[in-house]
Chain A
């Protein structure tokens, strides 16, 4: 079952995509975008994992100790912060859309119909 973590990442990503397509609420869409992003975190962290590896912080472990890959961890870290900022931006758009159209359903907003 060595590919299971990768398949989980694919699954989470596709579930998020389905949510975005089928959504009837802009706030729900913002949550679905976050779900998609979570899929990328799982993929990144799964790639860098090493069996019996520990966190790559050498404060109190010897430098010979097996550690997981720090590069993907730092990518995930910055990714999370940016994801929160982007969610804030999407939700601000959703609020403004509600103010102008009186609804959060993308099917009822003419500009978003498609």
Chain B
């Protein structure tokens, strides 16, 4: 198929899809006048019912926690798939590579930035039910702290801190404990992901009951997942730039 044929075919199809989409959105409620009752009910209930100030995270980890578990497992399988695609390059292949930033100021500031980022990650996760934040955002920030070490110090230091031995169990434990917390509720005679500890005080770090634990486990899963993805890319890139120091056994 030639390029112009392909574009022509696309334009015909896109015209149809576009027509249906526009037709569909024209009947949506007027912008700014959303009338769906579900969101309003949740906004009114999160504080009295769940002692969670942030209605968005209340939905993510509590009301629709089961849904989030599915999303969590998508992230888990995507990270596993990336690791599998890059399986030809092993950590041992790149461990002799020296790729250091030779400037003390950059090294020092980088370590400082990594520590600050790590603290920020814990802050974002811990206050997920109080202020904007939560396990997803905090997990990404946590992984970013390790990336700082690579950018400003050296590949070796990154490898030592964020080995596959650390990132993979972190990801697996996070994803597993998400499901595990849901199942612990069975022991208390509750439904899957039911709350089994007291809800705490609204506005405090320990508010939201067992959903707060779900928040932390998703933070671990996201952090581990992103670290696995970044490490795999970095490893493959290092091997491509410097050549594998060991031959791959086919």
Residue positions of A touching B, CB distance < 8 A: 2-7, 9-10, 13-14, 17-18, 21-22, 43, 46-51, 55-59, 63, 67-74, 77-78, 81-82, 84-86, 88-89, 91-93, 95-96, 107, 114
List 13 contacting pairs A-B, 8 Å CB cutoff, sorted by A: A3-B31, A46-B31, A49-B32, A56-B56, A59-B130, A59-B203, A63-B47, A67-B43, A69-B43, A71-B38, A88-B233, A92-B85, A96-B85
CB distance from A106 to the nearest CB of B (A): 11
CB distance from A88 to the nearest CB of B (A): 5
B55 at interface (Cβ–Cβ under 8 A)? yes
Contact A50 B25 (CB under 8 A): no
Question: B interface, how many residues as a size bin?
Answer: 35 or more
Q: Enumerate chain B residues within 8 angstroms of A55, measured Cβ to Cβ.
A: 56, 132
Contact A69 B36 (CB under 8 A): yes
Contact A7 B225 (CB under 8 A): no
Give the CA-CA distance A3 to B26 in the complex, in Å. Answer: 7
Give the CA-CA distance A54 to B25 in the complex, in Å. Answer: 24
Contact of A2 with B32 at beta-carbon distance under 8 Å, contacts A10-B21, A59-B203, A95-B236 already known: yes
Contact A74 B78 (CB under 8 A): no
Q: Enumerate chain A residues within 8 angstroms of B32, measured Cβ to Cβ.
A: 2, 49-51
Contact of A10 with B22 at beta-carbon distance under 8 Å, contacts A21-B10, A89-B78 already known: yes
Contact B14 A17 (CB under 8 A): yes
Contact B31 A56 (CB under 8 A): no
CB distance from B103 to the nearest CB of A (A): 30
Per-position binary interface string of chain B over residues 208-250, scored 1 when its CB falls under 8 Å from any chain A CB and 0 otherwise: 0000000000000010011001001100100000000000000
Task: Identify which of B60, B131, B222 gathers the most chain A CB atoms within 10 Å of its CB.
Answer: B60
Give the CA-CA distance A57 to B39 in the complex, in Å. Answer: 13
Give the number of A-B contacts (CB < 8 Å): 161
Q: Enumerate chain A residues within 8 angstroms of B233, measured Cβ to Cβ.
A: 88, 91-92
- Chain B, Cβ-Cβ closest to A93: B85
B86 at interface (Cβ–Cβ under 8 A)? yes
Give the CA-CA distance A19 to B28 in the complex, in Å. Answer: 27
Query: Which of B1, B33, B46 lies in contact with A58, CB distance below 8 A?
Result: B46
Query: Which of A2, A82, A89 lies in contact with B82, CB distance below 8 A?
Result: A89
B7 at interface (Cβ–Cβ under 8 A)? yes
CB distance from A65 to the nearest CB of B (A): 9
Q: Is the interface of A mostly helix, strand, loop or mixed?
A: helix
B183 at interface (Cβ–Cβ under 8 A)? no
Q: Enumerate chain A residues within 8 angstroms of B42, measured Cβ to Cβ.
A: 70-71
Q: Enumerate chain B residues within 8 angstroms of A18, measured Cβ to Cβ.
A: 10, 14
Contact B222 A81 (CB under 8 A): yes
Beyond the given pairs A10-B25, A22-B6, A89-B78, 20 more chain A to chain B contacts, judged by CB atoms under 8 angstroms and listed by A's residue number, are A3-B30, A6-B26, A6-B28, A17-B10, A56-B55, A57-B53, A57-B132, A59-B53, A59-B131, A68-B34, A69-B43, A70-B39, A71-B39, A73-B56, A74-B56, A77-B56, A78-B67, A81-B136, A82-B74, A92-B85
Q: Enumerate chain A residues within 8 angstroms of B7, measured Cβ to Cβ.
A: 21-22
Q: Enumerate chain A residues within 8 angstroms of B56, measured Cβ to Cβ.
A: 55-57, 70, 73-74, 77
Contact B136 A59 (CB under 8 A): no
B59 at interface (Cβ–Cβ under 8 A)? yes
Query: Which of B14, B43, B140 lies in contact with A70, CB distance below 8 A?
Result: B43
